[in-house]
Amino acid sequence: MTKIAQIQFKPILGNINLNTANAEKLISKCNNSDIIILPELSDTAYNFPDRNYAIEVSHKVNENPFAKMLMNKSEEMNTCIISGICEKEGQYLFNSSIIVSKGKILGLYRKIHLFMNEKDIFEAGDGLLDIYKIGDIKIGMQICFDYLFPEPWRILAQKKADIIAHPSNLVTYNAFKVVPALSIMNKVFIATTNRIGTERDLNFAGKSFLCNPNGEIIAEASKLKEEIILSEIDFKLSRNKMITSRNHVFNDLRPDSYH
């Protein structure tokens, strides 16, 4: 069984030192977890007043104290950590998810589908949909609003992802309708890790959750509280792509008939 920890907490806008210290304390509580997942933009928080402010409070990945803390903790705890971070690259910002394991950065995913005012702040990701292997489990990443666009989820599943980590800053409960459907349509686990709190005019929705490959929510956090949800999954369930004894999620696709 693979142990998954989802950390729902409240990053504070622009306060990367405080967010690093708070996240570090919470990560330390996830002893023996194989994969730890934090929300979108856990280092800087989310609702920047403008792009200049966002540039000021963000860092290049290799100079980001939050990313360094993730690397240190992953080495010390011999684990894999995935978190949303604000990634500065030259004059550009990306809303990214970083995956680290045993002290090293394995990769970054840059959010493709930008929500609302994110379009004033970030560049859209270029669509790198990589799979990362931790032991035998294969991990893909998507970020928050990406959930409304089914194509990358299918591609990650076709690339054999067992679980898709989904750091989020959800402000509605629509993901509860859509993410279970994405998990059953692709027969993958999905770990939607959300934040709590209010930032300027936005209230975040909490209720982080984990879906199994049957589209069932098997763990769920509360709406308002800081919380760590701990789950154990048999990731091999994602490798059975049969829907019925005669239907397979990929082999039954009929692209030639979609016109």
CB–CB of 199/46 below 8 Å? Answer: yes
CA distances from 206 to 128, 168, 221, 224 (A): 28, 9, 7, 6
Given 144, 187, 207, 211, the catalytic residue: 144
CB–CB of 192/222 below 8 Å? Answer: no
Q: Least separation, in Å, of the C-beta of 171 and ligand ACM?
A: 6
- Residue whose pair of structure tokens reads 């967010």 in the numeric block: 19
**Looking at 121, 141, 144, 211, which residue binds ligand ACM (CB under 6 A)?**
144
**Looking at 109, 115, 132, 189, which residue binds ligand ACM (CB under 6 A)?**
115
Footprint on residues 53-82 left by ligand ACM (CB under 6 A): none
Ramachandran angles phi, psi of 22, nearest 5°: -65, -45
> What are the structure tokens assigned to 40, written together?
């979108």
Q: Give yes or no for residue 145 binding ligand ACM (CB under 6 A).
A: yes
| CB nearer ligand ACM, residue 171 or residue 229 | 171
| CB nearer ligand ACM, residue 40 or residue 43 | 40
Helices and strands counted in the chain (H then E): 6, 16
Q: Would residue 63 show up in a list of annotated catalytic residues for this protein? A: no
Burial state string for 182-202 with b = 16 or more CB within 10 A and e = fewer than 16: bbbbbbbbbbbbbbbbebeee
Q: Give yes or no for residue 169 binding ligand ACM (CB under 6 A).
A: yes
Beta-ladder partners of 198: 203
Task: Provide long-range contacts, Cβ within 8 A and 24+ apart, for 243-250.
Answer: 243/187, 249/157, 249/185, 249/186, 249/187, 250/157, 250/158
Find the part of the chain contacting ligand ACM (CB under 6 A) among 77-85, 168-176, 190-198, 241-249.
168-176
Given 73, 88, 111, 241, the catalytic residue: 111
Q: Would residue 111 show up in a list of annotated catalytic residues for this protein? A: yes
Q: Least separation, in Å, of the C-beta of 86 and ligand ACM?
A: 12
| CB nearer ligand ACM, residue 48 or residue 115 | 115
**Looking at 69, 98, 139, 171, which residue binds ligand ACM (CB under 6 A)?**
171
| CB nearer ligand ACM, residue 148 or residue 242 | 148
> What are the structure tokens assigned to 13, written together?
């806008």
Given 10, 40, 73, 138, the catalytic residue: 40
Cβ partners under 8 Å of residue 55, min gap 6: 88, 93
| CB nearer ligand ACM, residue 26 or residue 205 | 205
**Looking at 10, 26, 37, 40, which residue binds ligand ACM (CB under 6 A)?**
40
Half-sphere exposure of 141 (CA within 13 A, CB side): 33
Find the part of the chain contacting ligand ACM (CB under 6 A) among 18-26, 30-38, 58-66, 163-171.
163-171
Q: Report the catalytic residues.
A: 40, 111, 144
Binding site for ligand ACM (CB under 6 A): 40, 115, 144-145, 169-171
